[in-house]
């Protein structure tokens, strides 16, 4: 491993004395956005949700917005949705939508060209599997099917995020829910669309007020260092964490129920010698 890093100049050898010259890494995490991330789920009745949202939250600062469409949109509907959100204070927009015969590759490229805030388009239930890059965006055709908000909370190596920002955030905060807000298809405001608890309905009051609501912010500070099993995992500072799907709903710090990794034996489900965390603990009491 060290040869790999040295050959590619990702690192270099230094003496113990030289190590003392390096300053301590600042692990503080700060964000000036009202919300770092937002998820909005839309069905055919999307116009009420997006119009209410845009009228009440014109000054809301959002870093990344994920739009999840649970209907087969036309190009006109996509344009209508993106025109609304592109006019707001949002840095980037990711779209997740089902495969539709009404929208072709050329249409998606026109969307990317017409809306510079669009950084990713994912097409699920696609007959093909392909990842394309176009302009500032990626277009990802997935064969997996997404039926609703329940298709969330999966823990997988492909979802790992290995960068300094995530590492710093994970020291004290939940890397999935920190400074996140969501709106489900019915307009309910939640920490995540998969969460059961709601904090009102879109349009009742500006969303900026919720970021100071203690009950809404409660899950923001649930870090991996507090969560059962996760606190012993070598991947904890690069792995996002789900609080909606956990093994023990009565325990805020319970392990994610959709995690199939056992850090005590360093194996994923399906690998030779894998046993679940529960099996391993029962044998090693």
- Dist CA 173 CA 180 (whole Å): 11
Model-level pTM greater than 0.75?
A: yes
Predicted local distance difference test score (pLDDT) of residue 133: 95
Predicted local distance difference test score (pLDDT) of residue 158: 86
Question: Is the pLDDT assigned to residue 274 strictly greater than 90?
Answer: yes
Which residue did the predictor score with more confidence, 240 or 29? Answer: 29
Report the relative pairing of strands 267-268 and 35-42 from DSSP bridges: unpaired
Give the burial class of 98: count Cβ atoms within 10 A of its Cβ; 0-12 exposed, 13-18 middle, 19 or more buried: middle
Helix (H, G, I), strand (E, B) or coil at 275: coil
Place 239 in a pLDDT band, splitting at 50, 70 and 90. very high
Question: Is the pLDDT assigned to residue 89 strictly greater than 90?
Answer: yes
Question: Is the pLDDT assigned to residue 179 strictly greater than 90?
Answer: yes
Lowest mean pLDDT among 168-172, 187-191, 202-206: 202-206
Question: In this structure, are residues 88 and 61 in contact, taking their beta carbons and an 8 Å threshold?
Answer: no
Question: Is the pLDDT assigned to residue 187 strictly greater than 80?
Answer: yes
Mean pLDDT for 111-124 is 96
Report the relative pairing of strands 62-69 and 90-98 from DSSP bridges: parallel
* Per-domain residue ranges of the chain: 35-221
* Order of strands across the sheet that contains 90-98: 130-134, 137-141, 118-124, 90-98, 62-69, 35-42, 180-183, 189-190
Nearest one of 270, 271, 265 to 229, comparing CA atoms:
265
What separation in angstroms does the CA of 162 have from each of 190, 256, 279?
A: 27, 20, 30
pLDDT in tens, 5-56: 889 888 889 998 998 898 888 999 999 999 999 999 999 999 999 999 988 8
User: Considering the chain, what percentage of its residues have pLDDT values greater than 70?
Assistant: 100
- Dist CA 22 CA 139 (whole Å): 41
Question: Is the pLDDT assigned to residue 3 strictly greater than 80?
Answer: yes
Mean pLDDT, the chain, whole residue set: 93
Predicted local distance difference test score (pLDDT) of residue 63: 97
Which residue did the predictor score with more confidence, 221 or 242? Answer: 221
Question: In this structure, are residues 108 and 79 in contact, taking their beta carbons and an 8 Å threshold?
Answer: no
Question: In this structure, are residues 44 and 70 in contact, taking their beta carbons and an 8 Å threshold?
Answer: no
Summary count for the chain: helices (H), strands (E): 8, 10
pLDDT in tens, 139-160: 999 999 887 787 788 888 888 9
């Amino acid at each position: 491993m060290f040869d790999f890093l040295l050959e590619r100049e990702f690192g270099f050898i230094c003496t113990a004395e030289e190590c003392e010259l390096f300053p301590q890494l600042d692990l503080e995490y700060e964000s000036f956005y009202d919300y770092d991330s937002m998820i909005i789920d839309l069905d055919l009745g999307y116009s009420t949700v997006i119009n209410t949202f845009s009228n009440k939250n014109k000054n809301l600062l959002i870093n990344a917005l994920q739009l999840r469409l649970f209907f087969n949109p036309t190009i006109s509907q996509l344009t209508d949705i993106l025109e609304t959100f592109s006019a707001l204070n949002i840095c980037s927009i990711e779209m997740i939508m089902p495969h539709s015969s009404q929208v072709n590759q050329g249409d998606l490229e026109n969307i990317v060209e017409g809306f510079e805030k669009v950084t990713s388009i994912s097409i699920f239930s696609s007959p093909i599997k392909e990842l394309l890059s176009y302009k500032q965006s990626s277009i990802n055709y997935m064969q997996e099917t997404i039926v609703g908000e329940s298709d969330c909370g999966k823990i997988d190596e492909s979802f790992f995020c290995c960068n300094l920002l995530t590492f710093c955030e994970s020291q004290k905060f939940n890397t999935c829910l920190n400074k996140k807000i969501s709106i489900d298809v019915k307009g309910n405001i939640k920490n995540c669309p998969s969460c059961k608890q709601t904090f009102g309905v879109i349009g009742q009051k500006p969303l900026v007020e919720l970021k100071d609501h203690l009950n809404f912010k409660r899950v923001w500070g649930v870090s991996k260092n507090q969560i059962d099993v996760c606190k012993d995992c070598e991947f904890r500072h690069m792995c996002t964490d789900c609080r909606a799907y956990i093994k023990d709903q009565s325990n805020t710090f319970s392990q994610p129920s959709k995690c199939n990794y056992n850090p005590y034996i360093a194996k994923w489900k399906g690998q030779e010698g894998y046993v679940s965390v529960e099996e391993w603990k029962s044998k090693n009491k």
